[in-house]
Amino acid sequence: MPDAGKVAVVNVLVTGASGYVGSQLVPALLERGHYVVCMTRDARNVTNKFPRRVNVVEADALKPESLNPALRGIHVAYYLIHSLNAGERAFRSTDHDAARNFAIAAKEAGVKRIVYLGGLGDPKSALSAHLKSRQETSECLRQYGPPLTDFRSAVVIGAGSISFEMVRYLTERVPLMICPRWVTTRIQPIGIDDVVSYLVAALDEPKSVGQTIDIGSPSIETYRTMMLKYAAYRGLRRPLIEVPVLTPRLSSYWVDLVTPIPANISRPLIEGLRSEVVCTNDRAREIFPLIKPLTYEQALARALQVPDLSALAERRASEVLSGSRLPQVVEEEGWVADVREGDVAVSPSRVFAVVEGIGGKRGWFYGTWLWRLRAVLDRMLGGTGMGEGRRDPDTLQIGDLLDFWQVEEIERGKRLCLKAMMRVPGEAYLLFETFSEGSGTRLRSSALFRPRGLWGRVYWWMLLPVHKFIFSGLNAAIRERAMQESSPVPPAAPFTKSMA
């Protein structure tokens, strides 16, 4: 995001803060020093999502009487609400009612401006119900509310974006794709970082008030090129065969089968693929010349970076009550993980010392013969096997080889991340973290894997029972060893000479 220097603090309301764009926008606004209020129907969906405390108010745009407390004292409101969950037949009317209620309440509360993120598409063309609804929402906000800044985008590229996840699931899981004609419809995607940059920059740019601003990457793609570029980045071969008989409706049934995206969300999105969605005005460059949007390839590379793996598991467990364990199997953003936790009544530094000394001549503390068997199999497949052990028996540093792992990250006393160097159909990491828990320590060990293609998923789920055995035992063995090494050595029994 361009640095415009010191900015005036603005009282901001973010609706849809628990959604994908909202969850990226709120931290960026907080970082800029703005006072942020998050509006949600269930406060738990927001308070557990962000790493720092935010101001949360419960309200529902379909209940006008609930909106006044949320809008009190607000200067600018971000409207990021959509109603796809309401179902294919109801979401347009629901979107309209919610936007009208919110716009009227915002105007009555003295809100100076609404910033909205809608969808690209030529209103004169035969748009899908979803795209029509997005544009009708902007007209409703403009008609009933305070001045509007209306951003319009196509597919948002970022881990967690539903449109991007659809591309991910289809490319990863389907070795041969039979595609309808809509895969060649022109589309102008945009990276999530650029979307957030535009949304935040609008607060300090008066020229954006009252404008409809198309935003997109410098390049125009199609779903075909997006999937093929994704496949190339991941090292996958994905033949695409185009046929004329598959309608978007028929295609939606296929998406329902091979992806976990709910049908009431995926179907309206796929219906919209018949429409060309490209930028038709150049206001983004004119009003925000400092923002240089990423190309699709650059946005793709960012979306596929290794995320904060521990935060990934934490977000997945946001509904779990404080103090409870994380779910053991986590799947999100193209990653799967086996997460194990346990407590031990010794200090975090003592537990981490045991973790740091794992492998090499000491072995893996639990099921070492299974680790060695895996190394033999790796060697048979042309891999390095166990390699040369480790550089130092007690300490590690970034870049060190540790049997068939490499130290990717280390924060001594707190966190160790190992990247697998063995041959696997994907990317594998082993993460150890220690947390102070009362007078003791909670040890979390996570085996994380990003499958490459269908075979990668088969590999993970086939080995999951073995992983559960190994990683639960490993976590327990580390804690037991830390306890034993912390126990004082009992004094030797006094020597007495027997008398004949």
Domain boundaries in the chain?
11-303, 309-486
Q: Are 249 and 272 in contact (CB under 8 A)?
A: no
**Whole-angstrom Cα distance, residue 319 to residue 325?**
11
- Rounded alpha-carbon distances, angstroms, from residue 469 to 22, 340, 463, 465: 39, 11, 10, 6
Residue 47, φ and ψ in degrees, nearest 5: -65, -30
Q: Which tens digits make up the pLDDT trace of 348-364?
A: 999 999 999 999 888 89
Distance of CA 427 to the CA centre of its chain: 17
**Whole-angstrom Cα distance, residue 322 to residue 179?**
46
**Whole-angstrom Cα distance, residue 122 to residue 126?**
8
What b/e string do you get for 263-283 counting C-beta neighbours within 10 Å, with b at 16 or more? eebbbbbbbbbbbbbbbeeeb
CATH superfamily, domain 309-486, is: START domain (3.30.530.20)
Task: Specify the 3-state DSSP secondary structure of 295.
Answer: coil
User: So what CATH class is 11-303?
Assistant: alpha beta
Per the structure block, which two tokens stand in for 395? 């300490």
Q: Are 293 and 190 in contact (CB under 8 A)?
A: yes
**Whole-angstrom Cα distance, residue 456 to residue 461?**
9
Residue 40, φ and ψ in degrees, nearest 5: -155, 155
**Whole-angstrom Cα distance, residue 447 to residue 468?**
10
**Whole-angstrom Cα distance, residue 416 to residue 282?**
47
**Whole-angstrom Cα distance, residue 349 to residue 102?**
52
Q: Are 430 and 437 in contact (CB under 8 A)?
A: no
Q: What is the pLDDT along the chain (500 residues), one digit of tens a residue?
A: 444 445 567 899 999 988 899 999 999 999 998 999 999 888 877 776 775 667 899 999 999 999 999 999 999 999 999 876 655 557 778 889 999 999 999 999 999 999 999 999 887 777 777 788 888 999 999 999 999 999 999 999 998 898 898 888 888 888 877 777 778 889 999 999 999 999 999 999 999 999 999 999 998 999 889 999 999 999 888 888 777 665 666 666 667 676 777 666 666 677 767 788 999 999 999 999 999 999 999 999 999 887 665 565 555 544 443 444 555 677 777 888 888 889 999 999 999 999 999 998 888 999 888 888 888 888 888 887 887 778 898 999 999 999 999 999 999 999 999 999 988 898 899 999 999 888 899 999 988 888 988 888 888 888 888 888 899 999 999 999 999 987 665 555 554 443 33
- Rounded alpha-carbon distances, angstroms, from residue 324 to 47, 328, 351: 17, 12, 20
User: Within 13 A of 195's CA, how many CA atoms are on the CB side?
Assistant: 29
**Whole-angstrom Cα distance, residue 432 to residue 352?**
8
